[in-house]
């Protein structure tokens, strides 16, 4: 115990614990060490010994600044600057290591590097970059007031802004719907079947790649409706839409399942190689296998349903069951 000043208005300055003698095995050194120093005793000494210039803490540690400087002055050691700032609190997540550890132990997520976890390894697996995270923090700035919740949308905006510039593009269909082109050319070497696709729509320096148009192409299931409507740019019976970087197609026939006539099995279409029409709707697509490869796609959402789960008595009751959706059979 440091026994500083029992009359101090700051409760941290009255009788803070320096270290405890505990005869219990340490997780790293086993029984070789029995002295367990406290935060108040260790924090300032380590900062001083390592010649830290600025010790940055969140506001809840502000009352510990007095004991921080008292011990360094008593030992005549170098004193770093101490700055406190408000905590960055993201909506729909928690940052308590104890509560996060429980989520990992219960198997709610796959581990500390699960893309839904607010950890650096989790952010890395989700595709977040260091520069984008720094941009996010720079956008928010440093405050000393009690900060309100920060929407995840702002973080995701910073990520998308960077990835929009640096990422190569590829087309993927999550829930494939077959489209059979009835007037497909018989010659396999027809030059019209080789579609040149830019690797980035805004950056020609990233180059291009060739996508082979096949007799059967696959589009998103949601890009077809039985009934057309104003403002809808997808496909419908008798309607035309453009296959991105390829040609317009027109739906000629809809094949449904016998036991479920509202469920489409495949579409029959005609293709306009002359591009005589310019439809507003542009659809992404992939050729049939083996030109397209099957993949497993994982779609992520918020880990918690509530905007501020940290305020709940038990955040585990607020877990979002749809925080991860696994899509098998995507191409």
Interacting residues of 141 by C-beta distance below 8 A, sequence separation 6+: none
Mean pLDDT taken over the chain: 92
- Range with the poorest average pLDDT among 52-56, 138-142, 251-255: 138-142
Tell me the backbone φ, ψ of residue 286, rounded to 5 degrees.
-140, 150
Residue 150 exposed, middle or buried by CB count within 10 Å (0-12, 13-18, 19+) = middle
> Residues 284-295: pLDDT tens digits?
999 988 888 999
> Residue 147: is its pLDDT beyond 70?
no
Nearest to 68 by CA among 59, 58, 81: 81
Q: Is the predicted pLDDT of residue 169 greater than 70, yes or no?
A: yes
Q: How far apart are CA 70 and CA 19, in angstroms?
A: 16
- Sign of torsion over alpha carbons 2, 7, 11, 13: negative
pLDDT of residue 33: 86
Give, rounded to a whole angstrom, the gap between the first and last alpha carbons of the chain.
Answer: 65
Residue 259 has pLDDT above 90, yes or no: no
pLDDT at 255: 94
Residue 141 has pLDDT above 70, yes or no: yes
Q: What is the pLDDT of residues 291-307, one digit of tens each?
A: 889 999 999 999 999 99
Q: Which of 108, 15, 21, 141 is nearest to 70 (CA)?
A: 15
pLDDT given for residue 145 in this prediction = 80
pTM of the complete model: 0.79
């Amino acid at each position: 115990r440091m026994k500083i000043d029992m009359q101090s208005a700051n409760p941290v300055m009255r009788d803070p614990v320096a270290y405890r003698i505990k005869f219990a095995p340490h997780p790293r050194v086993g029984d070789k060490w029995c002295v367990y120093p406290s935060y108040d005793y260790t924090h300032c000494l380590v900062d001083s010994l390592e010649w830290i210039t600025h010790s940055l803490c969140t506001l809840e540690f502000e009352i510990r600044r007095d004991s921080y400087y008292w011990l360094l002055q008593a030992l005549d050691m170098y004193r770093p600057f101490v700055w406190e700032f408000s905590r960055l609190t993201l909506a729909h997540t928690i940052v308590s290591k104890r509560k996060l550890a429980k989520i990992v132990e219960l198997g709610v997520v796959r581990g500390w590097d699960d893309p839904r976890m607010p950890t650096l390894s989790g952010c890395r697996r989700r595709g977040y970059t260091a520069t984008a995270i720094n941009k996010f923090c720079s956008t928010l700035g440093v405050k000393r007031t009690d900060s309100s919740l920060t929407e995840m949308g702002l973080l995701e905006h910073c990520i998308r802004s960077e990835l929009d510039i640096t990422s190569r593009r590829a087309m993927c269909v999550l829930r494939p719907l077959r489209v059979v082109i009835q007037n497909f050319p018989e010659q396999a070497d027809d030059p019209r079947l080789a579609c040149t696709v830019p690797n980035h729509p805004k950056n020609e320096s990233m180059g291009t790649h060739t996508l082979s148009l096949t007799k059967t192409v696959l589009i998103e299931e949601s890009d077809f409706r039985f009934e057309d409507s104003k403002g809808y740019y997808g496909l419908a019976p008798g309607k035309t839409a453009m296959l991105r970087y390829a040609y317009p197609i027109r739906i000629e026939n809809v094949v449904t399942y016998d036991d479920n006539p509202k469920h489409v099995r495949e579409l029959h279409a005609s293709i306009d190689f002359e591009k005589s029409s310019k439809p507003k709707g542009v659809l992404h697509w992939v050729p049939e296998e083996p030109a397209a490869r099957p993949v497993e796609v994982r779609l992520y959402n918020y880990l918690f349903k509530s905007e501020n789960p940290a305020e709940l008595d038990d955040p585990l009751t607020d877990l979002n069951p749809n925080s991860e959706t696994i899509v098998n059979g995507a191409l």
